[in-house]
A = this chain, B = another copy of it.
Amino acid sequence: MSKGAPTLEDVARVAGVSRATVSRVVNGTRNVDPELQETVRNAIEQTGYTPNRVARSLVTRRTGTVALVISGAGGGSDVFTDPFFGRVTAGVVDFLRLRSVHPVLMLADSDHARTEVVEFLRQGSADGALLVSTHPADPLPARLLQAGVPSVLYARPGRPMPISYVDLDHRAGGRMAADHLVAAGRYNIATISGPLDVLASQDRHAGFRDAMARHGFPYVPTAEGGFTAESGASAMQRLLVECPDVDGVFAANDLMAQAAVEVLRAHGLRVPDDVAVVGFDDSAPALASRPQLTTVRQPVEDMAAKMADLLLASLEEPGQRPRSAIFEPELVVRASA
């Protein structure tokens, strides 16, 4: 009797109407006699009815969930410790919750995992995908596209394809860092880049170097990092060997910038007095670092929200052409440069 949860049928029986009618009032369809509506509403209350989302999804072909997939370089689940992904999540969740859609978290760090993601979406377990993919060789965007899964990327795809994405003008960001360092009167400027097989890193680096060249610095000592604190520290060490008289450093993210500051300090160099340091992102470490980091702000939360926005829009109106949204970085001047 009282086994499963109450169903439409139960409510209908109590209200003395048909399932269809109950369904109509539940879904707020017009054309239902106000009196009946009242009756039905009471019956719902009385039975403690809750619509079964799964059954509904089966017929509507909409689940009210989207996949938030982190397609990493295989970094595993410690990506969640990276402040960047935390911010992406925050932005996405903030936007989606207002629309009552829920993100399901997926890691696509192996070929097997990627296949699972595609399956999951093809199976209609989620309405679309929000994909944070860093590596340009990542096959996932293309696979998703091919599978006909509505998707939006954070960062443009490795190779051009008709898929929506949000991105930052990374070159402009690199330029800002260069301009600031030069304007501060620095002469021996070096840089810690991100992994150069990542488009964002390439762009930040290119923008930085271009601007430096324009300022009369044709060559900029560069050490490649991996966006982690350790890699930033070791990159700084190398830079210090190549150019011991460095007086300005641009690091491609805050984590590395923070680490660089520590290394400089350990070498008896003061920041910003002896060496000015500019970071990128403006995430938590920028504020936690001492001195607080001057950095190029990437509005991650806004970008993530926009990504979700684009996805929901394309869900509303399928068959639209892909969209993109490029955000502008902003220099945040604090104490380190």
Contact = CB atoms under 8 A, between A and B. Distances in A.
A252 B190 CA distance: 39
B102 A120 contact: yes
Quickly give the copy total for this chain: 2
Contact of A229 (B89, B107, B123, B287): B287
B288 A50 contact: no
A53 interface: yes
Given A58-B54, A288-B285, A94 B123 contact: no
Contact of A290 (B55, B76, B100, B265): B265
Interface string A33-73: 00000000000000000111111011000011100100000
Interface of A: 5, 50-55, 57-58, 63-65, 68, 76-83, 85-87, 89-91, 93-94, 97, 100, 102-107, 113, 116, 119-120, 122-125, 229, 255, 258-259, 262, 265, 283-285, 287-288, 290
Contacts of A120: 53, 102
A63 B68 contact: no
Nearest to A56: B123
Contacts of A107: 93, 97
A123 B52 contact: yes
A116 B103 contact: no
Nearest to A288: B229
A212 B161 CA distance: 64
Contact of A104 (B54, B77, B105, B258): B105
A93 B122 contact: no
A107 B68 CA distance: 15
Contact of A63 (B50, B54, B80, B258): B54
26 contacts: A5-B124, A50-B123, A52-B124, A54-B57, A54-B58, A54-B124, A64-B125, A65-B125, A77-B90, A77-B93, A77-B94, A78-B90, A80-B90, A81-B90, A81-B284, A86-B86, A93-B107, A97-B113, A102-B104, A102-B106, A103-B105, A104-B104, A229-B287, A229-B288, A262-B290, A288-B288
